[in-house]
């Protein structure tokens, strides 16, 4: 994979970074890299994520999932970081797998009921993922799935494994029922766990090549160095930070591949939860090419100058020829393919943003496969860690979500929480 930052320079775009400022920024990157390298070497909290290519035990993952070789459907019960990394990989490679992977990352009752009625639970494997083992949505969904299996005569204990920490209710429940347990990595927050047991277990059940995923990540790990020119991850993180400083407070992540739509969601969590604190942080906006050219491009090109557009694509895809037509207006499509059309629109959109002086960054994978996905995930995590250093925030915490968790627990009567009282105290100004 590689990135092209030319269209984020002030030569082309406003906001944009001048070449002089880029040189000064590179000194900051060098200092940040020292800090990051120390964190990786010391396996410090969060930084340990960037050591995963070395630390992750793929054999343990393969051994645990080997017991579920007959899987036709995977239900991954987890939310946030316990879903998005795995979903990014299995959705990107779905055409390569005979296993249908579903992510129960919401507690919508109508959605869950419909999903459970559609799948054959006898050939379904359940992976329950929660570091703390206390995540309300995950445990509620697990209880529902377990009940559905039991009521259709399936022994859920034969079809379930867990990915959780050493402690907590989920781990105790697993031990009590003799469920296989994949340990969660130490010091790796959920949103940085795609290349650990959390993200790779689902990929293993779906039959994907874990070694290639890790190899792609290792390449990026080896490239980390004291310059934004040393690797695509640092280049992307530094440019996104610099553009935010110059007014691009929104980062539109726009892959030109349906298979990478979930990647944009994964990126949105990585970026928002890691950098969104102390009044700082660039807002990720998920988009999809070419579709959103007919939805968001008007705003990106003619709206406020507050956006960086990140265009992602594979340079190689299996194309689908566009057949001959009987309308002369369409003659220009003959002899081309859908992929050629999509690539022409990618190039046209990038150029149309540049022509309007709007900044964009191009991220290209050789193709959507395990190796390139491993590289992309690692590079974006490195980008985020670098950006966190440049912003000076604590990249690896998410304190602002605790308030709402307590309020919800209080509302459900788990105990006394002042936060729950605030819900009742709400004013209303209703228009019907």
Is the separation of the CB atoms in 162 and 127 below 8 Å?
A: yes
> What φ, ψ does residue 254 adopt, rounded to 5°?
-130, 85
Is the separation of the CB atoms in 201 and 182 below 8 Å?
A: yes
- Least distance in Å: CB of 9 to a second copy? 7
14 binds a second copy (CB under 8 A): no
Is the separation of the CB atoms in 188 and 52 below 8 Å?
A: yes
Distance (Å, whole) CA 354 – CA 340: 21
Cis amide bond preceding 375, omega within 30: no
Residue with tokens 């009940």: 147
* 107 or 122: CB nearest a second copy: 107
- 36-45, long-range: CB within 8 Å, 24+ apart, which pairs? 36/224, 36/382, 36/385, 36/386, 36/389, 37/224, 43/186, 43/187, 44/187, 45/187, 45/396
CB-side neighbour CA atoms (13 Å) of 41: 7
- 3-state DSSP assignment of residue 255: strand
The one among 14, 152, 315, 325 contacting a second copy by CB under 8 A: 325
Please state at what angle helix 136-151 crosses helix 109-118, rounded to 10 degrees. Answer: 40
- Least distance in Å: CB of 289 to a second copy? 8
Query: Taking contact as CB under 8 A, which single stretch among the options 36-44, 47-55, 131-139, 192-200 is the one that binds a second copy?
Result: 131-139
The one among 29, 68, 131, 137 contacting a second copy by CB under 8 A: 137
Is the separation of the CB atoms in 46 and 39 below 8 Å?
A: yes
- 3-state DSSP assignment of residue 88: helix
Q: Is 405 a catalytic residue?
A: yes
The one among 232, 237, 359, 374 contacting a second copy by CB under 8 A: 232
- The secondary element (H helix, E strand) that includes residue 310 is strand 307-314
Which residues on neighbouring strands pair with residue 286, listed in sequence order? 253
Query: Taking contact as CB under 8 A, which single stretch among the options 38-46, 119-127, 157-165, 348-356 is the one that binds a second copy?
Result: 348-356
155 binds a second copy (CB under 8 A): no
Is the separation of the CB atoms in 204 and 65 below 8 Å?
A: yes
399-418 binders of a second copy (CB under 8 A): 399-401, 403-405, 407-409, 411-415
* 197 or 313: CB nearest a second copy: 313
* 62 or 301: CB nearest a second copy: 301
The one among 30, 60, 140, 212 contacting a second copy by CB under 8 A: 140
* 153 or 176: CB nearest a second copy: 176
Distance (Å, whole) CA 10 – CA 242: 11
45 binds a second copy (CB under 8 A): no
Is the separation of the CB atoms in 98 and 72 below 8 Å?
A: yes
Q: Quote the distance between the C-alpha of residue 133 and its chain's center.
A: 21
244-283 binders of a second copy (CB under 8 A): 249-250, 256-259, 265, 268-269, 272-273, 275-281, 283
- 3-state DSSP assignment of residue 219: helix
Residues ≥6 apart with Cβ < 8 Å to 248 = 15, 240, 282, 305, 306, 307, 308, 359
211 binds a second copy (CB under 8 A): no
322 binds a second copy (CB under 8 A): yes
Query: Taking contact as CB under 8 A, which single stretch among the options 68-76, 120-128, 172-180, 206-214 is the one that binds a second copy?
Result: 172-180
Query: Taking contact as CB under 8 A, which single stretch among the options 30-38, 40-48, 297-305, 380-388 is the one that binds a second copy?
Result: 297-305
Nearest in space to 154 (alpha carbons), one of 176, 125, 115 = 125
* 57 or 306: CB nearest a second copy: 306
32 binds a second copy (CB under 8 A): no
* 60 or 299: CB nearest a second copy: 299
Q: Is 223 a catalytic residue?
A: no
**Other C-beta atoms within 10 Å of 323: how many?**
7
Nearest in space to 384 (alpha carbons), one of 246, 189, 241, 243 = 241
360-389 binders of a second copy (CB under 8 A): none
**Among 273, 350, 370, 389, the one annotated catalytic:** 273
**Among 110, 294, 329, 428, the one annotated catalytic:** 294
Q: With contacts defined by CB under 8 A, how many residues of the chain interact with a second copy?
A: 147
* 66 or 411: CB nearest a second copy: 411
The one among 209, 350, 370, 372 contacting a second copy by CB under 8 A: 350
Contact mark string toward a second copy, 100..129, x via CB under 8 A: -----xxxxxxxxxx---------------
Contact mark string toward a second copy, 73..92, x via CB under 8 A: ------xxx--x--------
Catalytic residues: 273, 294, 405
């Amino acid at each position: 994979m590689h990135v092209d930052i030319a269209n984020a320079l002030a030569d082309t775009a406003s906001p944009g970074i001048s070449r002089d400022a880029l040189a000064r920024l590179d000194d900051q990157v060098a200092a940040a890299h020292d800090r990051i390298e120390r964190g990786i070497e010391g396996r410090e909290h969060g930084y340990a994520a960037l050591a995963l290519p070395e630390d992750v035990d793929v054999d343990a993952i393969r051994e645990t999932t080997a017991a579920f070789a007959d899987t036709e459907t995977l239900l991954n019960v987890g939310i946030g970081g316990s879903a998005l990394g795995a979903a990014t990989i299995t959705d990107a490679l779905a055409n390569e797998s005979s296993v249908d992977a579903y992510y129960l990352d919401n507690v919508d009752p109508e959605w869950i009921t419909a999903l459970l009625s559609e799948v054959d639970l006898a050939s379904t494997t359940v992976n329950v993922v929660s570091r703390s083992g206390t995540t309300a949505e995950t445990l509620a969904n697990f209880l529902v799935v377990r009940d559905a299996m039991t009521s259709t005569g399936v022994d859920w204990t034969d079809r379930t494994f867990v990915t959780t920490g050493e402690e907590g209710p989920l781990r105790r429940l697993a031990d009590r029922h003799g469920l296989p347990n994949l340990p969660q990595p130490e010091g790796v927050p959920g949103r940085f766990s795609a290349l650990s047991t959390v993200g790779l277990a689902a990929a293993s059940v779906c039959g994907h090549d874990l070694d290639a995923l890790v190899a792609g990540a290792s390449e990026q790990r080896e490239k980390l160095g004291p310059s934004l020119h040393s690797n695509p991850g640092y280049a992307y993180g530094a440019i996104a930070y610099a553009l935010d400083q110059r007014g691009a407070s929104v980062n539109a992540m726009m892959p030109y591949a349906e298979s990478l739509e979930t990647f944009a969601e994964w990126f949105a969590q990585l970026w928002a939860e890691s950098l969104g604190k102390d009044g700082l942080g660039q807002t990720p906006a998920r988009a999809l090419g070419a579709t959103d050219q007919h939805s968001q491009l008007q705003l990106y090109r003619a709206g406020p100058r507050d956006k960086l557009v990140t265009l992602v694509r594979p340079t190689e895809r299996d194309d689908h020829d566009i057949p001959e037509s009987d309308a002369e207006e369409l003659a220009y499509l003959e002899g081309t393919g859908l992929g050629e059309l999509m690539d022409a629109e990618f190039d046209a959109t990038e150029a149309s943003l540049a022509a309007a002086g709007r900044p964009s960054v191009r991220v290209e994978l050789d193709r959507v496969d395990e190796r390139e996905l491993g590289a992309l995930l690692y590079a974006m995590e490195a980008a985020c860690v670098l950006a966190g250093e440049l912003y000076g925030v604590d990249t690896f915490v998410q304190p602002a979500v605790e308030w709402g968790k307590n309020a919800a627990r209080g509302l459900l009567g788990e105990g006394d929480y002042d936060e729950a009282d605030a819900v009742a105290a709400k004013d209303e100004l209703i228009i019907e």
